[in-house]
Amino acid sequence: MVVDILVLGATGFTGRLITRYLASHPQRNSFTFAIGVRSKTKGVELLKSLGIENDGTVRLVEVDVTRYETVEAAVRDTKVVINTVGPFWLWGTSVVRACALLGRRYVDLTGEPQFVRKIIELFDHIATKTGAVIVPSCGFDSLPSDLAVFLSNRTLKNAIGPQTQLGLSQTFFDIKSGISGGSLATLATEIEEVPQILLAQSRQDYALSPVHGYPSPAFQKAVRVPFSSPPAYGAFWIMANVNRAIVQRTFGLNELLANYSGALLTSAPVQETAAQIRPLTYGPEFRYAEYMAVGTSRLAASVSSTLLGVWLALLFYVPPIWWFVKLFLPKSGEGPSEHQLKTGYMTVTNFTEAASAPGTWAKTTIHGKGDPGYLLTAGMISECALALALDDASLPPHARLGGVLTPATALGSDIVSRLEASSLLHFESQIVRGQEESRKDR
């Protein structure tokens, strides 16, 4: 019997949160789901801890991602796979392979652009042939970034016209979040396992995009937040390159589809398809950067950027430093307490200027209450999976083509509506001119 959603890694820290979210979802009667575990004993313990051991509707599936035959068997009986088994560079490829070959749908939580680059090279073409929809980075990395630009683009086009092209786009992060053993295992893999040349390649501009666009803004230690009064500043943001890569892939996929829509979507009239694609494109002058919001001190922003840069360099290039730090970090399966999960927060603010109408900007803000890396992430990826399982009719054109996509290209407005309805996130997008904010889009 085919299930709608399979959660791989359900007994891990984030996997448990996802299982809890799905088990109590308002649409629970509209979908079936299973949890994939290496040990059925641990799976039963998880269901007991959530109070759903007698539910009877949550299946247990034994899956070992190191044994491809078990992965293939599990994926064959599934419509959408949620993969939380990281580090993805080490353990994610077999799951994507099975989904791509069998034409299934897939979402994950990776913040590893080198992994996304690998699965694009290996499986993007296959997925377009089988109709598989592969959507990496559906959690805090990098869904908010992708949707913030997506909404700013929509707001500008609604206000100015469908031909509007984007220019500079900047996103600022204000967050309170904990860290889990799984996240640290990913960092350890990047430091210890991934060849440095591959890390460097995956951090280059447009590393994941099929179209090379306008160069990103040069690095600055302190960047003023547009329209801030008194002036506020952004500093180096540790996830900037990760999120930028996904945003730029959205840019590239939309540009590619807009240019070749007639050849790619032969089932629909070319004019109709072009009309669908045109509002999605960002334009050739689009350039993107991200920062951590640090307040009104330019000096604090500069110092923060310098210290974070030095700290990361020490971790990656001075092995004794990393070995010492590891002694004090959470172990796999550990993470923030329930209190910490509930008291975290996220405010993501994007400013995007219209290149074709200088001086006109869109300001998009995404608010979330709860730890963004875990509690909110569990909801984000769950809603992405539910959209792929239940909302076929409202998904964007890319989802009909298949391939290795992004949250914005695979899910578009549908995931925005789902996340808003869930009360996980609240979205606002409006036009800004000078000091005046007006014309709210949401």
Output the pLDDT for position 56: 77
Output the pLDDT for position 327: 74
Output the pLDDT for position 7: 98
CB 7 within 8 Å of CB 84: yes
Alpha helices by DSSP H, listed for 131-229, are 143-160, 181-192, 196-202
3-state SS, residue 58: strand
Output the pLDDT for position 213: 95
Output the pLDDT for position 182: 54
Dihedral over Cα of 49, 52, 53, 58: its sign: negative
Tens of each residue's pLDDT in the chain, 442 residues: 899 999 999 999 999 999 999 999 999 999 999 999 998 888 999 999 988 877 778 999 999 999 999 999 999 999 999 999 989 999 999 999 999 999 999 999 999 999 999 999 999 999 999 999 999 999 999 999 999 999 999 999 999 998 999 999 999 999 998 765 555 566 777 778 888 898 889 899 999 999 999 999 999 999 999 999 999 999 999 999 999 999 999 999 999 888 766 555 555 544 555 567 778 999 999 999 999 999 999 999 999 999 988 988 888 788 888 778 777 666 666 788 899 999 999 999 999 999 989 999 999 999 999 999 999 999 999 999 999 999 999 999 899 989 999 999 999 999 999 999 999 999 999 999 865 544 455 5
Output the pLDDT for position 184: 59
CB 209 within 8 Å of CB 249: yes
Output the pLDDT for position 354: 97
Distance of CA 249 to the CA centre of its chain: 12
Distance CA 117, CA 114 (A): 5
CB 133 within 8 Å of CB 105: yes
**Domain 3-135: which topology?**
Rossmann fold (3.40.50)
Output the pLDDT for position 32: 95
Output the pLDDT for position 437: 45
What are the boundaries of each domain within the chain?
3-135, 143-371+412-440
